[in-house]
Amino acid sequence: MEKPVILDGNRVATHVKDGLKATIVKLKENHVQPCLATILVGDDPSSATYVKMKGNACEKLGIESKRIHLPEQTTTEQLLAVIQQLNNDENVHGILLQHPVPNQIDERKAFEAIAVEKDVDGVTSWGYGQTALGFGQYPSCTPAAIIKIMDEYGISAEGKHAVVVGRSPILGKPVSALLLNRNATVTTCHSFTANLPELVKQADIVVAAVGKPNFIKGEWLKEGAVVLDAGYNKGNIGDVEYDTCFNKASAITPVPGGVGPVTISMLLKHTVESAEKKLLETVQKERELVSQ
């Protein structure tokens, strides 16, 4: 068997970001500055690193990064008030609440407070529902990244059996829906799934989204499977045992440098698209006023 294709997320992310540059210039010419607001509650070092990475990526591309850091003891009501302020701020086009939040906060309630038109990270139930039905504008960014990688490398889901290991509301479930909408036959596995290795063995496409290092073993794969590793664990380790899976796969994402960079690029893409939509709505309203 030939060596597998290494699905280079850095290359895909660069392509996505390069494709946004002309739109950003056009928006600025029309006095619109794309802006992503990120909310970090508490002092979790990993979350702080992720927020910093996202902010830096924004600034490199010419997107404004509005960073809001709230104390560890923030209440749900206080967080909701901040989200509402951002919803009402016409200069903010995307809102990202960094997960996880401290235990005293009702995270789902906070996610649901984000206006759907600014839900560029695809965390609201409304946004998820639209994604599942096939017309969502901003699917969760990691699922969107997985689909983008497949598209960039010409990997079709149609007629394929995809096994998704993990069912989180912002990764496993939405990526299952996106693959189903691409005409794959999808099996979504989780902690109660019996005979997991046997199910993975049937997969043409494996999405690892379980949050456990080196969980998916090469011996579980059938020859030539496509492996998309959405896991990121301590020590730069993914959810698949890379070396053993590499020997069985036809294509595989590395960790780091696979799904992660594309996830951030999709967040930027959704933010720019939200700004563009806002500009189009403003222009349309002005035309309607002139015609009256």
Chain region(s) in the chain for CATH 3.40.50.10860: 31-115
70 strand-pairing partners: 41
Return the closest-CA partner of residue 197 out of 236, 235, 241, 254.
241
Q: Which of the residues 8, 17, 118, 121 is marked catalytic?
A: 121
Q: Whole-angstrom Cα distance, residue 125 to residue 71?
A: 26
Reported as a single tens digit per residue, the pLDDT across 74-110 is 999 999 999 999 999 999 999 999 999 999 999 999 9
What fold, for 141-259? Rossmann fold (3.40.50)
pLDDT band at 116; cut points 50, 70, 90? very high
Reported as a single tens digit per residue, the pLDDT across 191-247 is 999 999 999 999 999 999 999 999 999 999 999 999 999 998 989 999 999 999 999
How far, CA to CA in Å, does 136 sit from each of 53, 88, 128, 132, 146? Answer: 26, 22, 7, 7, 16
Q: Which of the residues 17, 98, 119, 248 is marked catalytic?
A: 98
| pLDDT of 115 strictly over 70 | yes
| Arithmetic mean of pLDDT, 142-161 | 98
User: Long-range contacts of range 216-219, CB-CB < 8 Å, 24 or more positions apart?
Assistant: 216/165, 216/240, 216/241, 216/245, 217/241, 217/244, 217/245, 218/243, 218/244, 218/245, 218/246, 218/247, 218/248, 219/244, 219/248
Chain region(s) in the chain for CATH 3.40.50.720: 141-259
Report the percentage of the chain scoring pLDDT > 70. 99
| pLDDT of 173 strictly over 90 | yes
What fold, for 31-115? Rossmann fold (3.40.50)
Annotation says 54 is catalytic: yes
Q: Which of the residues 8, 17, 54, 229 is marked catalytic?
A: 54
Tokens of 100: 């996880």
